[in-house]
Amino acid sequence: MPNPEDIQTFLSESRWKDRFDDEILAVAQSFVGKVKNLQIDPVMDDGAHLSATIAGEETEIDWWQTNGVSDFETSCSCELGSFCHHSAALLLRAAKERDASRLIGKSSPTQLAATLPSARDLLKNPPPDLERISFEPRFELRVTREPTDRQIQLLLKSLGQKEPDFWISAEATVIYGKHRSSLRSAAPDWVSPITLENGQPALIQHDSGAEAAAAQQLRDTGLSSLQSNSSWRFLLQQKSGGTKTPDRWFPDPGRVPIDAFWHQFRGEMVERLELAGWNVIVADNVGHRVHQADPERWTNSLSPGDGGWFSLSVGFDVGGKRYDLLPILAELLENDFLEETLDRPDNGHVYAPLPDGDALRLPIGRVRRILHHLAALIDPKFPDRARLHALDAVALAGLGELGLGTPPDLLELAGKLADFSGIDPIDPAEGVQATLRDYQLAGFRWMQFLARHGLHGILADDMGLGKTLQTLTHILTEKSSGASRGLPTLVIAPTSVVPNWRAEATKFTPDLRVLVLNGPERKKYFRSIPHADLVLTSFALLQRDIDKLRAYPFHLVVLDEAQHIKNPRSKVAQAACKLDSSHRLCLSGTPVENHLGEFWSLMKFLIPGFLGTEDAFNTRFRKPIEKDGDMERNELLKERVAPLILRRTKDQVAKELPPKTELVHLIELHTAQKDLYETVRATMDKRVREAIAARGIEQSQIVFLDALLKLRQICCDPRLLPDDFSNEVHESAKLDYLTDLLATLIEEGRRILLFSQFTTMLALIEQHLIRKNVAYLKLTGGSKDRGKLVEDFQSGKIPVFLISLKAGGTGLNLTAADTVIHYDPWWNPAAEAQATDRAYRIGQDKPVFVHKLLCQETVEERIHKLQQEKAKLAAGLLANADISARLDAAAVRLLLDK
């Protein structure tokens, strides 16, 4: 008779719960109270039989001990059959008994025998002369591929198998002498009945320890027993009509893709099992064969193509077939478990799938660096996976693992990219009517370098450092040297900046034949495009005229203020990408304003495919950098684009510029203004939160921006609020502060640029200046003669220039000013910086003071903080800072919370 304390210990320990699915255990809790007629009957000396009726189902559990180790099996009349919620409920109920001995022996041996199979009869009442036989166990694993039925197909699909009409599984067998039985996933019965050759019954003594160890060896390979999964067990029993079926082993769901598992199983696990003593048999139709790659026999080639692209081939032979390694590894990059693969030790392997379903076994230590580079350089979804840009080819050519023979021109490019001082010291064309500063000469030579090597880039100098002059010098030199082959250059700029290009070309490069396309009469000049050297048009007209412009080949296309194409889905961005040119340049002091997706859009115009598809770029760079602060990805992106971006700041190159001082003025709202602000803030905060809850952050942008607009209007002047927000507040603390500040600055003889987002605010300031008899000028989007306004201010007679930020943020040279006032903050710090640079630019000889007026403890002060964070976004790509800021739900809460 078993020791009741042993049964009690087994029931009280929770290890038995590991044999049940979590869902089964959760359901079992509600069935504990339904357990009826619970009883425990002894089986021989060290076993017991538990039984009960639970919700109309007859449930039984057989428990035994082997060398002091407990194990059990369950059976039930429910549809699951075993390890069901009824069985778990029975064990949970029995575990509540403080004294299990009071439940032992309540049923008669006759009743018990009726519920047991014949094998258990033999175990319980063995004949006196029943022979017990012992053999050394042997283990066999047979892997087969078989057709499936509909129910198994659904489960296979849920586990990720690509070919659900067939399934690959393994049958594990334990062999004692000539007798075979299924190796169960749990510890087996300790004896099994057999019939000897003479017809007499006998018992085979199982080696439960060896069988448990063998089952664990299978689990260590990644296989799991289908019998241990209730859903699979039910299906197998249905499929077999309820009879006992051999246990099947299948890859552990969710661990790795099914095909990848069987490649690794055949490449590594078969050998591991055979070394442990297993006989492993794999049927011919299983496939997933693994071929050993010999890197020493790879044949490599790197050949130049069109447009600065190269074709890379790494060839090898398998079974008489020729394969190219690059597209195979690119396919491997699509697998989610790549990072886990790369983290394996150097003596591990990676299995690259071949087109026929087999795999190539590659030593991970040999290909780790190749995979790391390909993960950054190649978009698996890009049509031509073997096409590399010259910059990527340079990087891969330096990998000893590939042993590439590098073309001479690529070696030259690699040397110059390593040290930009090696760029040829080309002199500007004689027709340039200007003396370039050293940094401007370097910028011109960088453009020449890009053109000579079929590269395209972004000149990202600070505003006021002469990007236009450097580009005109490059254009004229291309013409004079014959490199342009007689083709014109097309420059696309903001409407307000086009006249500046014409004036600068007339002044510095008079030898260029300039054609300006503007106004309703422009269409009759399209036929003159081939006869011009420099064609000027605006972003606004580009999208209207793209069908005409794309018909003409250009040597060079230049986008000035290239951030105009930061949205890749905008019509202007799509139109720019359709232009036909052999060389492309972007001019922008702010290639990254809000997020890295804007930079991707510029690079799509310059070199389509260099940063992959937008989705791939977001996955590999934008999300890790912006959301996760991944410095490694940040550095990798910087390294890739560094040769294509030239960035100089005023502090670096314009040493002759006077100092610039920024002053932030925090202004406290008037009491009535503060009450109005809080009332509107609470109302709009509730409205925004309701919108976000109903539609999500992305679909609530309009509501959010409307809320911010009203709060910003209150900070500037409550009179800016729309009529439906009727209020009795007509005073503005900020306007009062500005009044005093202007009086002081004008008395000091300062020349002032005053910027605001709101033209209506400028109108209120204008009324104040009129009352005070202060001379002023005003520039907004409705102003006609910008040149005359600039000339009048530069003459030094008028002290104040009122400018709307959008109308005056670019294309103006106002070095007569020594003071800049930003009446209200804007999201984009680059936009404010560009406005400031109307005064702080080459030619300024006076110290410049920048005043920022912010209402304290309001949305304005918080916008200023977000500006500082956004500035890191551009710095992370163009300098040495990190990229970490973006406007999201957290920013919404920051701006609207009290």
105 within 8 A of 111, measured Cβ to Cβ: no
Query: Is a pLDDT exceeding 90 seen at residue 383?
Result: no
Bridge partners of 855? 667
Instruction: Give the pLDDT score at 127.
Output: 56
Number of alpha helices (DSSP H) and beta strands (DSSP E) in the chain: 33, 33
779 within 8 A of 766, measured Cβ to Cβ: no
Query: Is a pLDDT exceeding 80 seen at residue 502?
Result: yes
Span(s) in the chain for CATH 3.40.50.10810 = 419-653
Instruction: Give the pLDDT score at 238.
Output: 45
Q: With bands split at pLDDT 50, 70 and 90, how would you rate the model's confidence at 819?
A: very high
Query: Is a pLDDT exceeding 70 seen at residue 139?
Result: yes
Query: Is a pLDDT exceeding 80 seen at residue 109?
Result: no
Instruction: Give the pLDDT score at 639.
Output: 79
Copy the structure tokens of residue 216.
Answer: 């664990």
DSSP code, position 244: -
Q: What is the pLDDT of residues 746-771, one digit of tens each?
A: 988 899 999 998 999 999 999 999 99
Cα–Cα distance measured from residue 288 to residue 145, given in angstroms and rounded to the nearest whole number: 11
Span(s) in the chain for CATH 3.40.50.300 = 662-896
Cα–Cα distance measured from residue 23 to residue 30, given in angstroms and rounded to the nearest whole number: 12
852 within 8 A of 822, measured Cβ to Cβ: yes
Copy the structure tokens of residue 295.
Answer: 């890197």
Mean pLDDT, residues 374-380: 58
- 800-804 and 776-779 strand pairing: parallel
- Alpha carbon of 87 to those of 36, 43, 75, 184, 199: distances in Å? 13, 19, 7, 19, 37
Cα–Cα distance measured from residue 108 to residue 112, given in angstroms and rounded to the nearest whole number: 6
Sequence-separated (6 or more) residues with CB below 8 Å from residue 345: 364
Q: What is the pLDDT of residues 169-216, one digit of tens each?
A: 898 988 888 788 778 655 444 566 666 666 667 777 778 888 888 989
Q: What is the pLDDT of residues 304-342, one digit of tens each?
A: 766 667 777 777 777 777 777 777 776 666 655 555 555
Instruction: Give the pLDDT score at 797.
Output: 83
Return left, alpha or beta for 222; rule: phi > 0 is left, psi -120 to 50 is alpha, else beta.
left
Cα–Cα distance measured from residue 135 to residue 204, given in angstroms and rounded to the nearest whole number: 8
193 within 8 A of 118, measured Cβ to Cβ: yes
Query: Is a pLDDT exceeding 70 seen at residue 520?
Result: yes
Instruction: Give the pLDDT score at 734.
Output: 92
Residue in the block written with tokens 């012992």: 134
Instruction: Give the pLDDT score at 534.
Output: 96
Write the burial class of residue 622 (CB in 10 Å: 0-12 exposed, 13-18 middle, 19+ buried): buried
Q: What is the pLDDT of residues 796-807, one digit of tens each?
A: 889 999 999 877
Cα–Cα distance measured from residue 869 to residue 857, given in angstroms and rounded to the nearest whole number: 18
Sequence-separated (6 or more) residues with CB below 8 Å from residue 826: 757, 805, 832, 863, 867
46 within 8 A of 2, measured Cβ to Cβ: yes
Selected from 3.30.565.10, 3.40.50.880, 2.30.38.10, 3.40.50.300, the CATH number assigned to the domain covering 662-896 reads: 3.40.50.300
Instruction: Give the pLDDT score at 844.
Output: 85
Query: Is a pLDDT exceeding 80 seen at residue 519?
Result: yes
DSSP code, position 875: H
Backbone angles phi, psi at 561, to 5 degrees: 55, 55
Bridge partners of 41? 49
Amino acid at 155: L
For residue 71, which of 87, 48, 103 has the smallest C-alpha distance?
Answer: 48
Fold annotation for 419-653: Rossmann fold (3.40.50)
Q: What is the pLDDT of residues 66-82, one digit of tens each?
A: 666 777 888 888 777 77
Q: What is the pLDDT of residues 430-451, one digit of tens each?
A: 999 998 988 899 899 999 988 8
Q: With bands split at pLDDT 50, 70 and 90, how would you rate the model's confidence at 389?
A: confident
For residue 797, which of 754, 840, 751, 753 has the smallest C-alpha distance?
Answer: 751
Helix (H, G, I), strand (E, B) or coil at 878: helix
Mean pLDDT, residues 152-167: 64
Mean pLDDT, residues 868-877: 58
251 within 8 A of 269, measured Cβ to Cβ: no
DSSP for 692-729 reads: HHHH-SGGGHHHHHHHHHHHHHHHH-GGGS-TTS--S-
Query: Is a pLDDT exceeding 90 seen at residue 560?
Result: yes
For residue 448, which of 418, 478, 468, 469 has the smallest C-alpha distance?
Answer: 478
The overall longest dimension of the chain from CA atoms, in Å, is 127
38 within 8 A of 28, measured Cβ to Cβ: no
Write the burial class of residue 649 (CB in 10 Å: 0-12 exposed, 13-18 middle, 19+ buried): middle
Q: What is the pLDDT of residues 206-261, one digit of tens each?
A: 788 888 889 899 988 988 886 655 445 544 444 444 434 456 788 865 566 788 88
Backbone angles phi, psi at 47, to 5 degrees: -140, 165
- State whether the Cα torsion 139-144-149-150 is positive or negative: positive
- 848-855 and 776-779 strand pairing: unpaired
Indicate the pTM of the whole model: 0.55
Q: How many CB atoms lie under 10 A from the CB of residue 132?
A: 10
> Highest mean pLDDT range out of 142-151, 357-366, 517-526?
517-526
- The 3-class SS string of 571-603 reads HHHHHHHCCEEEEEEEECCCCCCCCHHHHHHHH
Mean pLDDT, residues 684-706: 74
554 within 8 A of 537, measured Cβ to Cβ: no
Copy the structure tokens of residue 323.
Answer: 């394969």
Percent over 90 (pLDDT), the chain: 26
Copy the structure tokens of residue 881.
Answer: 């800072």
Instruction: Give the pLDDT score at 303.
Output: 72
Mean pLDDT, residues 372-397: 62
Copy the structure tokens of residue 242.
Answer: 């309820």
Instruction: Give the pLDDT score at 199.
Output: 66
Mean pLDDT, residues 670-676: 90
Q: What is the pLDDT of residues 623-648, one digit of tens each?
A: 888 888 788 788 878 878 888 888 88
Return left, alpha or beta for 883; rule: phi > 0 is left, psi -120 to 50 is alpha, else beta.
beta
Q: What is the pLDDT of residues 470-483, one digit of tens each?
A: 999 999 999 999 99
Query: Is a pLDDT exceeding 90 seen at residue 778?
Result: yes
- State whether the Cα torsion 886-888-891-896 is positive or negative: positive
Instruction: Give the pLDDT score at 886.
Output: 36
Q: How many CB atoms lie under 10 A from the CB of residue 46?
A: 18
Instruction: Give the pLDDT score at 735.
Output: 94
Mean pLDDT across the chain? 79
Of the ranges 475-479, 550-554, 589-593, 714-718, which one carries the lowest mean pLDDT score? 589-593
Cα–Cα distance measured from residue 455 to residue 441, given in angstroms and rounded to the nearest whole number: 19
Instruction: Give the pLDDT score at 510.
Output: 94
Q: With bands split at pLDDT 50, 70 and 90, how would you rate the model's confidence at 409?
A: low
Q: With bands split at pLDDT 50, 70 and 90, how would you rate the model's confidence at 283?
A: very high
Report CA 189 to chain centroid distance, whole Å: 52
For residue 85, which of 35, 38, 151 has the smallest C-alpha distance?
Answer: 35
